Structure 1
Amino acid sequence: MEIVLYIAALVAAIGFLVLCVSLAMTLTSLKKTLNEVSGTMSGLEGQLQGVTRETTELLHKTNELASDIQSKSEKLNSVVDAVKNVGESVNGLNTSVRRITSSVANEVEKNEEKISQVIQWSNVVLEIRNKWKERKAIDEGRSGYSNFKD
């Protein structure tokens, strides 16, 4: 029975040795994996710092752009107000021109007969003037001819 006890102790020792070897292999593999994870994390940390720096620069540029857009928007608002005022002025001018045109048209219609008479009298006066000039030219021509003849 003593032999059984030695065999059991030997089996237990071999089992413990196998357990220790497999545990050592597992821990070695775990150490290697953890070293790789540590390297990856270091690289990731460096990349994250670069991204953070670029993000900060982008945020500053975005703030500057927003400020620039705000100031240009305020300037554009004043231009839009000025254009609106010009449009209102043009509308007022158009309304005034329409009123004046309508008034002139009404007066022309009311005085159409008088205007027609004025035009006729003007034509008569122009004809009389033309005839007068012709007669004067003829008289000067005759007197010049008689002067030349003498």
Structure 2
Amino acid sequence: MEILLYVSAAIAALSLLLIAIFVITTLKSAKATMNEVSETLTSMQGKLNGITDQANELLANTNRITEDVERKMQSLNSVAKTAEKLDDSTAYMNKSFQSLSEQISNPDPKYKDLMQKANTITGIAASIFFRAKREKAKQANYSSQERYHNPASQNMDLLPYPQKRLPEPGQKN
């Protein structure tokens, strides 16, 4: 029985030796894995720092662009307000021109006679002017061929047609 005791002690010692060998192998493997994990974490930290720097630059660019867009939007708002004011001004000018047009087409009766006289005087002055031009052209002895080749001299014979006559005072339009 004593042999059994020695054999069992030897088996126990051998088992402890095998357990120690397996533990040492496992620890060496774990150490290698921990070194790889450490290297991976260091590499990832470097990459994350690079990404963080790029993200910060992108954020700064985005902020600059946003400020620029806001300034441009404010400029567009002022342009839109100016356009609204221009529309109001245009409407006011149209009303003024309409009012002026109506005053000219329907003058006060006391001015109609004066306007008609001014129209007559203007017509007489134009007639005298064109007649003097025609006489001057005749004195220069233009030949018929020169008159044919110079269209400006042909128009001197024609007086312009008078504009629409105003009704006499007391007449209705």
**Common fold, TM-score beyond 0.5?**
yes
Equivalent of 2:39, from 43, 67, 87?
43
**Aligned pair count?**
133
- Please list the CA deviations of residues 41-76 of structure 1 after superposition, one character each: whole Å capped at 9, or x if unmatched: 221232133134324423542453244235424532
Give SS of 1:9's match. helix
TM-score by length of 1: 0.59
Q: Alignment RMSD, CA only?
A: 3.9
Q: CA deviation at 1:11?
A: 4.3
Amino acid at match of 1:40: E
Question: Which region of structure 1 is more displaced relative to structure 2, 91-100 or 67-76?
Answer: 67-76
Please tell me whether residue 72 in structure 1 is matched to residue 68 in structure 2.
yes
Structure 1 distance, partners of 2:64, 2:77, is: 20
1:126 is matched with 126
Distance 1:69 1:135 in 2: 77
1:24 Cα shift? 2.6
Distance 2:45 2:137 in 1: 109
Q: Give 1:133 deviation, angstroms.
A: 5.8
Larger radius of gyration: 1
Cα distance, 1:133–1:57 mapped onto 2, change above 3 Å: closer
Distance 1:130 1:30, change over 3 A: same
Q: Aligned partner of 1:58: which letter? A: Q
Q: What is the aligned-residue identity percentage?
A: 15
Moved over 6 A (4+): 135-138
Greater relative contact order, per chain length (Cα 8 Å cut-off, separation 6+): 2
C-alpha separation in 2, matches of 1:137 and 1:17: 147
